[in-house]
C-alpha cells in the first residue's frame, strides 16, 4: 500500500514529513479538534476518481467546528477545492480515504476551554482497505460502555475527544473476539456502532435510530435511507431501537464512510436472520457501490470528479 506523500498543512500543500505539530498543541492534550472521513472511488472505465458527497461531509465538518466555537476561514467549497488539489498532487488511481482535521493549534496550553483558540485545518489522504469483514458479515456485541450524550460530548459533532468513547467500546469488542461494538445511549436505546450508523429490518420495515438518540448524522446513513426508499421501495422508520429488538431482527447492517454498507450476521452470539447476508443488505450494497462510482445517472450529483480530463471535449453550452 502506498503511503501518503502530501498533506494540506498551515495553508498549503506540503510534503507529509513537513506536516508536524508541537507536543504542546492544545488539541493533543484536550481533544479539542474535529474531523471528517471522506472516500474517493476510482472508476477504471472513466479513468476518474470520484469524491463521494464531499460537500455534505465538509458541511458537517464545519458544523462540528462550530460546536467547538472554532472560527475557520473556509467554506465547504473552498475545502473541496483544496482536497481536489491534494488528490491531484498525489495522483491516486485507486480508492482512497480523505481525512480533514481541524484542531486547536495553540501551544500555550492555558487549560481546557474553547474561546480564543486558533483553529488550523489539515487534510491528508490514503488508500483504505476493508474496515470490517464485509463479505461474510460482522459479529457485533452490545458494549458495556454508554454512548456519549448530547450533554457530555455531542455525538452529532465528529469531535476528536469523543472518539475515546468509540475506542473504549471497540477495544473491548475486538479483545473479546467480536468485529465491532454497538453502543447504547443513556436511555438504553441502540445509538450506533463505534464508527458507523445502525439499521435493522423487522417485519419488512427498515428501522434506524433517530438523530436525537446520540448518533453521528451519517452521510452514508442519509444516502442509504434515500436508496432504500427510492430503489427498494421499502419504508424507513427513524425511531428508538431496543437492544432485544436487534437480537430478533431479520437483517441488520452498519453504514459509514469506512465500513460502507456491512451486514451484521451475529449479535452477541445470536444469529441474525439466516446468519448470512440478507436480501435488503445485498441489494443495498450493490446500489451503493454503483452510485459511489458515479455509475447511476440519478445519483450523479453525489459524486464529484477529481481529475479535469473528465471535462475533455466538454463544450460549455453558453
Site residues, ligand PMP (CB under 6 A): 37, 166, 192, 195-197, 216, 218-221, 255-257
- Closest CA relative to residue 216, chosen from 155, 135, 299, 127: 155
Active site residue 158: yes
Give bridge partners of residue 252 from the DSSP assignment: 200, 264
C-alpha cell at 132: 470490517
Taking the least distance from each CB to ligand PMP, the nearer of 53 and 74 is 53
C-alpha cell at 207: 428501522
Q: What span, in angstroms and rounded, lies between the C-alpha atoms of 8 and 6?
A: 7
Q: What span, in angstroms and rounded, lies between the C-alpha atoms of 137 and 180?
A: 11
State the DSSP string of 168-227.
Answer: HHHHHHHHTT-SEEEEE-TTSBEEEESSSEEEEEETTEEEE--TTTT----HHHHHHHHH
Taking the least distance from each CB to ligand PMP, the nearer of 302 and 307 is 302
Taking the least distance from each CB to ligand PMP, the nearer of 218 and 278 is 218
Taking the least distance from each CB to ligand PMP, the nearer of 117 and 182 is 182
Sign of the Cα torsion 105, 109, 111, 117 reads negative
| Residues labelled as active-site residues | 158
Amino acid at each position: 500500500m502506498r503511503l501518503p506523500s502530501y498533506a494540506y498543512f498551515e495553508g498549503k500543500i506540503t510534503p507529509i514529513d513537513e506536516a508536524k505539530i508541537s507536543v504542546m498543541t492544545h488539541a493533543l492534550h484536550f481533544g479539542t479538534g474535529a474531523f471528517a472521513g471522506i472516500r474517493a472511488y476510482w472508476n477504471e472505465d472513466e479513468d476518474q476518481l470520484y469524491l463521494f458527497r464531499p460537500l455534505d461531509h465538509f458541511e458537517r465538518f464545519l458544523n462540528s467546528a462550530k460546536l467547538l466555537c472554532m472560527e475557520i476561514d473556509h467554506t465547504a467549497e473552498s475545502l473541496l477545492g483544496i482536497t481536489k488539489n491534494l488528490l491531484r498532487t498525489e495522483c491516486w488511481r485507486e480508492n482512497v480515504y480523505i481525512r480533514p482535521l481541524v484542531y486547536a493549534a495553540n501551544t500555550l496550553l492555558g487549560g481546557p476551554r474553547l474561546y480564543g483558540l486558533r483553529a488550523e485545518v489539515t487534510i491528508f489522504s490514503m488508500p483504505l482497505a476493508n474496515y470490517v469483514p464485509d463479505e461474510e458479515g460482522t459479529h457485533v456485541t452490545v458494549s458495556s460502555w454508554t454512548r456519549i450524550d448530547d450533554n457530555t460530548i455531542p455525538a452529532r459533532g465528529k469531535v476528536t475527544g469523543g472518539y475515546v468513547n468509540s475506542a473504549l467500546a471497540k477495544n473491548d469488542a475486538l479483545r473479546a473476539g467480536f468485529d465491532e461494538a454497538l453502543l447504547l445511549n443513556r436511555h438504553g436505546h441502540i445509538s450506533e456502532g463505534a464508527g458507523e450508523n445502525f439499521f435493522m429490518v423487522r417485519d419488512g420495515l427498515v428501522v434506524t435510530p433517530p438523530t436525537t438518540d446520540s448518533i453521528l448524522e451519517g452521510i452514508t446513513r442519509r444516502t442509504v435511507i434515500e436508496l432504500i426508499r427510492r430503489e427498494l421501495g421499502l419504508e424507513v422508520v427513524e425511531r428508538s431501537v431496543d437492544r432485544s429488538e436487534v437480537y430478533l431482527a431479520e437483517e441488520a447492517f452498519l453504514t459509514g464512510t469506512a465500513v460502507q454498507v456491512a451486514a451484521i450476521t451475529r449479535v452477541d452470539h445470536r444469529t441474525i436472520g439466516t446468519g448470512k447476508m440478507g436480501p435488503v443488505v445485498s441489494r443495498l450494497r450493490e446500489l451503493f457501490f454503483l452510485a459511489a462510482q458515479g455509475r447511476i445517472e440519478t445519483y450523479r450529483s453525489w459524486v464529484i470528479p477529481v481529475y479535469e480530463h473528465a471535462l475533455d471535449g466538454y463544450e460549455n453550452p453558453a
